[in-house]
Every structure is written in C-alpha cells, then in structure tokens.
Amino acid sequence: MNIQQEIEKLTLSYFKTINSEITEENGLYEISIPEKYQNYFRSSQISLTFDEKVATEQNCELINPGNKVLFQIITNCCNQGPITLKQTKTHTDNIVIRYHFFVDLSGIHHASKLFSIDIDLKTLQPSNVTDELEPGDFSLSDKLIPENITKSYDVALEELKQQSEEMKNQFIEKANSSFESDFQLFCSRYDSEMTELDDAINKKEEVSGNSDVVQKFRFDTVKKIERLRKEKNSLVENVQNKHQIEVKYELVATEIILC
C-alpha cells in the first residue's frame, strides 16, 4: 500500500469512526460532519477527493500530504501516536506546535529545503523553542485548544512563506536568467533565418530581369517567412512552459511541545 492509499484509508476510517455520513460518486466524497466536530473542522460538510483530476474539476479538497484536513484528522487521532509529543526539561503549561515543512521548488532547475516553524497554540504567534527537548509524558486532551489547531497551521504556513521568500526569490532569479538565455538563443536562430530570406528577396530583385520570376520568388519567400514566424510564436510558448516554476509547501511532520 502506497502513501496515498494509506491516506485514503486513514481519512475514510476516521470519518466512519466519528459517525459521519459518507457518499461517493466518481471519486468525489461528500462528508457530513457531526455537530460535536463542526467547530473543530469549521464546517458541517466537507467535499473531498484523493484524485488530483477530480479536485481540479470539482474544486474540492484534495487530501494528500500537507493538506489541512489531513492534519486535523491526524491531530484528532493523536492518541494513536501519529504526532510526536515533546517537552522541555523546565516546562510550564504552554503548548507550542512545531511544524516541519518541506519546501520544494521545481522547473528547469530544482531546489528544496526543510523548515521548522514553531507556533504558540494559545497566542497563535510564531515562537522559537530553543531548549533541549525530551519525550513528552503529558495528555493532549488537557492541553490542546481544538479551535486553534487549524488557525495555527495557517499562521505557520504564512510564516513559512516569509522565511522561504529569499530562497524562492533566488530560485526565480536563476530560472529567469536561464529563460532569458534560452529565449535569446531561440529567437536569434529564427530571426537569422528570416533575415536571410529577406536578403534573398532583395538579391533576387537585383540580379533578375524577369519580373514574373521575381514576383513568384518574393511570394514563395514571404510564405516561408510567415511560416517561420508562426512556428516561432508557437515554440515561444513551449519555451515559456519549459521554464514554468512550481512551488510546493508540504507538511511532513509535527511535534507538540510542552514548554
């Protein structure tokens, strides 16, 4: 069973466990959220799928690594141990959630980096836990603020984007430089061919005394130039697509820290 199949199994099993009504049609799942969980999920109904194509067509939640709904499910299943509990040696009752994100930048080049973002669950402000950590021996049921879980994720994601901004800008600059280089080489080749054809028309007019021959040559050559121009415009789009940049922010692990 691959990771996506495991995610699908976990997700559907979770909603069945909390007595949600589940209907499915062509890969689109409609999930009714029981009243006691509606505040936690901030919704009474969730439309979701495990298929990227369905998510695009139906504009619904795609459940995959890093997805907020999946994180909420994992958090709510914390007694089964999917989230690591940690604590500082001299802790009080404050809870910080440490999100471990994998930032992946891809295109003609590739770059990636792991980021750890600490968010104070009570204040919903970025934090920075520097104390040495040890395995936690506390109960989450007394510590978590359920309605702040999703909010803390949103804050962490915004903080992540700020911290990874320089990395992204450097990547974009490098990608743009490569694009400009490829684009100039590409354009110079086509422009050179069209210039040669223009010159050929002028030369034909200079050396030929037959106007009919010159006219036919000019007509044929202009057609070649137009064909090259259309071909160039079409291939410019291909060059642009080749240099498209994709940015992914994936949640890969979470620690709940008592500090």
Other Cβ atoms closer than 10 A to 73:
20
**101, part of any domain:** yes
Question: Domain range spanning residue 30?
Answer: 1-82
Same domain, 14 and 128: no
**89, part of any domain:** no
Q: State the total domains in the chain.
A: 2
**150, part of any domain:** yes
Same domain, 67 and 134: no
Give which of 139, 140, 102 is closest to 121, Cα–Cα. Answer: 140
Give which of 248, 243, 241 is closest to 111, Cα–Cα. Answer: 248
| pLDDT (tens place) for every residue of the chain, 259 residues total | 566 777 787 788 778 878 889 999 999 999 999 988 888 888 899 999 999 999 999 889 998 877 888 878 776 664 443 467 888 888 888 889 988 887 888 877 778 777 889 999 889 999 998 888 888 887 765 666 666 777 888 899 999 999 998 988 888 888 777 777 766 776 677 677 767 767 766 776 667 666 766 677 777 777 777 777 777 666 666 666 666 778 888 777 788 888 8
Same domain, 40 and 72: yes
- pLDDT confidence of residue 132: 85
Contact yes or no for 225/198 (Cβ under 8 A): yes
- pLDDT confidence of residue 79: 44
| Distance (Å, whole) CA 200 – CA 60 | 58
**35, part of any domain:** yes
Which of 20, 52, 82 is the last residue before a domain boundary?
A: 82
Same domain, 30 and 103: no
Same domain, 37 and 62: yes
